[in-house]
Amino acid sequence: LCLICSLFAVLAFATCGGYSGQIMVKVECFDKTQNNISISFNYPFRLQEVHFSALLCEGPRKETLFLEGDYASSAQFFVTVSVLAFLYSLLATIVYFFYQNKYREKNRGPVVDFLVTLVFSSLWLVSSISWAKTLSGVKTVTDVHQILLLLSACRAQENLCEVLQEPIWTNLNMSVAFGFLNFFLWAGNIWFAYKETGLHKSIKRYPSRTPSEKRGSFRQYSQTSFDQSGAGFGQRLYNQGSFDLSSGGFSLPQTNLGQAILYQQVGSPTSRGPLIFVNEM
């Protein structure tokens, strides 16, 4: 992944830092005098320093014109981020392959890599947005229609002006695309760098109890509570009235608020009913 990041970083600053554009305009005056005007501009796009001479079509006189705008800050910021990202990616690749033990020593290497990845993700986003806006301004200033409006000879209807060459914006458009692509690459690498730190393993996770474990604990609690007697939710043990075969009836148990008492009917020969547990609040 570091090799991919370094490759796209190279493409980003190569397409921006190595750009050079040119505009050529042919001016034909009403007296058939011709003049070809060539305007060249390049990185870092200090367009206010770009000047050219144009024929006035009023004898041999010429005028010197300048373009407008200084777009160097955004372009240089974008190229600087690209170069730093390339150098760091190259350094990280060397460390991963040749200094793996030192990289993982005391977990400092993964933590530093994680923090640097966060920083470069932010830088790529900010620089790409800034450069995209700056490129729009460069295109506006160097538009051939704006250049023709600057020329005094072209503003006169009796003269003829023709654009011979326009700047090609393919490389600069690709630089913006590579900038945002680098942002997505570095932002996607945040998760992998975070996993390398091992910070996610230090978070304690309590396992959820399964239904079978819950039923088992409930049975254990019920059995324990039934075995206890006395204060609180005390348990009272009663003996169901035994049947009297001679009298043809049976007697019900009596309750008492005192301690648990076991009642048994006198004269019951052998039969004894089941035990009943009663919870009293």
- What is the C-alpha separation between 20 and 44, in angstroms, rounded? 10
Q: Mean pLDDT in the chain?
A: 77
Quick: pLDDT tens for 107-166.
Answer: 777 888 889 999 999 999 999 999 999 999 999 999 999 999 999 888 888 889 999 999
Position 201 scores a pLDDT of 59
pTM score = 0.68
Q: pLDDT grade, residue 4 (50/70/90)? A: confident
Give pLDDT, residue 259: 45
pLDDT at 60: 79
* Cβ-contact 25, 37 below 8 angstroms: yes
Instruction: Please say if the pLDDT value at position 47 is more than 60.
Output: yes
Q: What is the pLDDT of residues 246-257, one digit of tens each?
A: 444 444 444 444
109 or 211: which leads in pLDDT: 109
User: pLDDT, tens digit, for every residue of 53-101?
Assistant: 988 887 778 889 999 999 999 999 999 999 999 999 998 888 888 877 7
**Parallel, antiparallel, or unpaired for β 34-42 and 51-55?**
unpaired
> Which of 136-140, 221-225, 238-242: highest mean pLDDT?
136-140
Q: How confident is the model over 158-184, as a mean pLDDT?
A: 94
How far apart CA 281 and CA 259 sit, in angstroms, is 14
